[in-house]
Structure 1
Amino acid sequence: MEITQALHRAAQQTPDLPATIVGERVRTWTECRDRVARLAAALQELGVGAGDRVAMLSLNSDRFHEYLFAVPWAGGVVTPVNIRWSPAEIAFSLEDAGAAVLVVDDAFVPAVPAILEAAPVVRTVVYAGDGAVPDGMVGFEELVAGHEPVDDARRGGAEPYGIYYTGGTTGTPKGVVLSHANLLSSALGSTAAGSFMTPGGRYLHAAPMFHLADGAAWGARNVVGGTHVIVPMFTPAGVAAAIAEHEVTDVLLVPTMIQMLVDAPEAADADLTSLRHLLYGASPISEAVLERAAKRLPAAEFTQAYGMTELSPVATLLQPADHAVDHLRRSAGRAAPHAEVKIVDEEDREVPYGTVGEIVSRGPHVMLGYWNRPEETATALRGGWMHTGDGGRMDEQGYVYVVDRIKDMIVSGGENVYSVEVENALAKHPDVASCAVIGVPDDEWGERVHAVVVPAAGATPSADELREHVKGLIAGYKAPRSVEFRDALPISGAGKILKRDLRAEHWSGSDRAVS
């Protein structure tokens, strides 16, 4: 199983079909394969060999699509970079992965000097924009034009395809190593479910391409054939226009994006009738948003995917027919065709139906491990099952309901935020004596990052002041959207902060402590 097999097959079977559409720029699958083979040759000349990591920091583009193929074609390992991270977080991931080559687009050229200063491992920066090549960089288009195609290195199977960084429970990102077989198993299993992707259709990349949620849809589109329509980033008007102009059949959005799309006045007149499959994840969709979306997108079927980066990323699917059953809409669906899922207790024993425990999954989609973190890998994969850190229950039909997070994580607008990262940043402010960060319900974002702060003696910090302080240390989306000040935090007999008590005040009356 090789990621590049899909490119060879598409160029053979649909050579003149558009592979990518970005605005007015259209490239066929024949052109795509040729450009990938030339870019791979250039990467090899830059020193990329078997297993070497190549990072990309970019908004969505056709060049991102080509990068995802060209790096393994050259023998390397992709390392997509979170575009919302601070320069310090970006530099950490580059150093941790040992990425000697970094590809950037116009949006991130200004950040390069700070990144290079903090990440000396980077030897070469490739400019993947449309303007003049900045000093000190090499041009993506010049590399493609200046090299003859090379043969595919044919990496595949259990060999690593990519390192995808996720937030760390210890406060620093950790790399999830996924093989070709991991990703293709997830793509094949998801498409086998029958409601994931229209064969030969057009998928719109509106979610960020660095994120494995969109990466899963990229892989599924390649498996079933068709075209990638790409917009730089999500905006309601831009997504609506792209769907209408290019007759998009499939798209992946988080519930927050769906709400924004169906409610946006600037998208109200767009013809969205071509849409057949709307995939979503990160959280269940609210009744109100689902009702409005169904009216606005009458031809679209809705499928929810639950999983995580470590699961490549799909573990369960809530099928379109399930959305017609009231109580099932609050579930995360049932195990996808490629996955096995169960609920276990603290001793890893399977619990009876209806009992809350930890959600675990086993199958060919489970990661190889965490990059250079053998102890954390062993803990997560104990017994051959990936321990998700999510608390849930399963009913007699196998539907999984996520009810809490064992790992201290918040999902806000589709982005994972680990509380310890935010707490570490807050604690560096001189006016903060102690703090706790939790997720609380939010109508727009599903959950929002909420900080409970005990000020230092005599100090009176403001919420805005603390937010700006956090944004200077970590990505802005991780900063608390709300802050409350207290004289003390609830503490257990063992001296631990009782976050469950803090969350209970906000989630009372709900059978879930997550959204």
Structure 2
Amino acid sequence: MNCIQLLERAAAQWPCRPAITDRDDTWTYAALTDRVARLAGGLRQLGVRPTDPVAVLAAQHRDTLVASLAVAWAGAELVPIDPRGSSDAAVAALRNTAAVGLVVDDANGGRIGELLDRCPYLRVLVHAGRDAAPAEAIPLTTLVTGHDPLPAPDAAEIHALGRFHTDGIGGRPRPVPLRHQDFVVAALSLLAEGGLPNTPILSTTEPLSNATVMTAAMAVMMRAGCLVMPEAGEWECAHGPAAVTDLLTTPAWLRAYPGQAADDAGHLPDRILLAGDLADDTLVGRTLAVLPGVSLRPLYGNAETAGFISLGPRLTAEPRESTTPVGGAAPHVDIRVRDQANLDCPSGQIGSILARGPGGADWLDTGDIGHFDDSGRLHLAGRAGDVLMRNDDPVYLRAIEMRLAMHSDVADAAVIAHRGGIRAWVVPAAGAGFDAESLRTFCCDGLPVSHHPNEIFPLPVLSRTAAGRIRKHLLRTGPASPDNEQAPPAGGEPS
């Protein structure tokens, strides 16, 4: 089954049920399918042909999903691009895939001129937003209202859904080809792992991996549920057709969440799936204090595995060790933990995490490290580059980040190995000051000597990927690195 067949099936079985909503409107499955088919007809009229790559450079909202489904309905290849990335990253993604079309929203419409200069082969430009469309682009609503529905493609003609980008090594985006079947199987796995109930009302937030959002959208269709896709800055539960049952978000969003939903108990979700980065103990405790009784579960994975590898057990406010349990392998993947000799590690031994998705026999090195426990449950210890050897003892930088995040003056933290030492950055909590010596003392009181940071610096915000992971290469070489400043910022001297 492909995503078009899945949408058609939902429209045939539940035509009047709400399928997708935002603050402006709610579309039923029948209305959503009609809109997708009409937009696909408009794309075809503009010259988009089967297998043509069409990029979507837009925040994740209702029209973004419609555009993505319409690209698939037209038989073309979807190329989602992180809208928070630089223009250089967007150009690299367009060039990597030789995209002939581009969909932009209000926030990214101003980039069209530059992208056309650098990618002159772009010939189909669509604007999906509320503001007036740029002169070079055609409004999405014009394509929908001005074209008849395109007949759904024959199933035998559909193979690849698209190419989904990861940050790759050093922040350079890398396209990952994924098939329709990969996402359908991943969505079934998510349901099999207890990820969503029957007829869920699932709200999303940003930032989120495009692969994760697509998997979740298909799972919602399978359950005859409704997807709530608000714009940034809006409380996701406020605009649904009824109380939201489930929230798909990241720890980065929860860190910034002020907790205003606690005043509206009817809109509190029953379950929260945490994708992207890992949640530290302090963040889990704060979230459970604001949302008492909510089921908080980590959704761990990569774009290459259609959005996720495992759905972890329910998190509690009890303190954890430096590793986080993220569950066993989901039904659509295999997981291995290998040592430096590429041999399977016994339970309890930390090694490199490898995964094999539904699309092939090749093993993916996830770039993460962790271990299995005796029950076969995977525990995550951090990124492979986040291990530093000091006096033959491994130092897990994730443990330092978790310790810093416990400080009441810290909203977020990142730690890297730097010239044989340990360098940390913290985002001060709202209204809090920055005292490097106090933070170092706090770390020293709670961690072994080998884990003591040499330097701590403040930052207003940490740059993260669409999956919510910290772009640590920017801390090493980018504007955030003190080595690139005229004078080092205040915040600590090497030990």
Query: C-alpha separation between the residues in 1 aligned to 2:242 and 2:339?
Result: 49
Aligned length in residues: 422
Please list, as runs of the form range in 1=range in 2, the aligned pairs for 1:173-252 lying within 5 A after superposition: 173-194=173-194, 196-208=195-207, 211-233=210-232, 235=233, 238-239=235-236, 241-242=238-239, 246-252=242-248
SS at match of 1:70: helix
Amino acid aligned to 1:238: W
Query: C-alpha separation between the residues in 2 aligned to 1:449 and 1:85?
Result: 22
1:195-226 deviation line (CA, Å, top 9, x unaligned): x1122121112124663233332222122221
Query: C-alpha separation between the residues in 2 aligned to 1:210 and 1:358?
Result: 22
Alpha-carbon offset, residue 449 of structure 1: 6.8
Task: Note if contact 1:341-1:361 (Cα within 8 Å) is conserved in structure 2.
Answer: yes
Task: Note if contact 1:249-1:275 (Cα within 8 Å) is conserved in structure 2.
Answer: yes
Query: C-alpha separation between the residues in 1 aligned to 2:152 and 2:179?
Result: 17
Alpha-carbon offset, residue 168 of structure 1: 2.3
SS at match of 1:335: coil
Indicate the percent of aligned positions where both proteins have the same amino acid: 27
Structure-2 residue corresponding to 1:314: 308
Query: C-alpha separation between the residues in 1 aligned to 2:310 and 2:259?
Result: 34
Task: Note if contact 1:277-1:301 (Cα within 8 Å) is conserved in structure 2.
Answer: yes
Matched, 1:388 2:386: no
Query: Cα RMSD (Å) of the superposition?
Result: 3.4
1:85-135 deviation line (CA, Å, top 9, x unaligned): 111211111111111110111111111111111112211211112233332
1:441-495 deviation line (CA, Å, top 9, x unaligned): 25267653769599xxxxxxxx999x9xxxxxxxx96743854459xxxxxxxxx
Amino acid aligned to 1:84: R
Please list, as runs of the form range in 1=range in 2, the aligned pairs for 1:53-452 lying within 5 A after superposition: 53-155=53-155, 159-169=159-169, 172-194=172-194, 196-208=195-207, 211-233=210-232, 235=233, 238-239=235-236, 241-242=238-239, 246-261=242-257, 264=258, 266-271=260-265, 274-320=268-314, 323=316, 330-364=324-358, 366=359, 384-406=362-384, 441=401, 443=405, 447-448=413-414
Task: Note if contact 2:7-2:33 (Cα within 8 Å) is conserved in structure 1.
Answer: yes
The answer for unaligned runs of 5 or more in structure 2 is: 388-396, 421-456, 462-469, 485-493
Alpha-carbon offset, residue 267 of structure 1: 4.2
Amino acid aligned to 2:122: V
1:384-422 deviation line (CA, Å, top 9, x unaligned): 32221222111111121222423579xxxxxxxxxxxxx
Query: C-alpha separation between the residues in 1 aligned to 2:157 and 2:378?
Result: 30
Query: C-alpha separation between the residues in 1 aligned to 2:157 and 2:149?
Result: 24
Query: C-alpha separation between the residues in 1 aligned to 2:267 and 2:237?
Result: 11
SS at match of 2:309: strand
TM-score, normalising length: structure 1: 0.74
Query: C-alpha separation between the residues in 1 aligned to 2:259 and 2:170?
Result: 42
Amino acid aligned to 2:217: W
Amino acid aligned to 1:24: D
Amino acid aligned to 1:270: D
The answer for unaligned runs of 5 or more in structure 1 is: 369-380, 410-437, 455-462, 468-475, 487-504, 507-515
Task: Note if contact 1:88-1:115 (Cα within 8 Å) is conserved in structure 2.
Answer: no
SS at match of 1:175: strand
Alpha-carbon offset, residue 348 of structure 1: 2.8
Query: C-alpha separation between the residues in 1 aligned to 2:286 and 2:171?
Result: 38
TM-score, normalising length: structure 2: 0.76
1:68-92 deviation line (CA, Å, top 9, x unaligned): 2111111011111111111121111
- Residues 144/185 of structure 1: CA separation in 2 closer, same or farther (3 Å cut): same
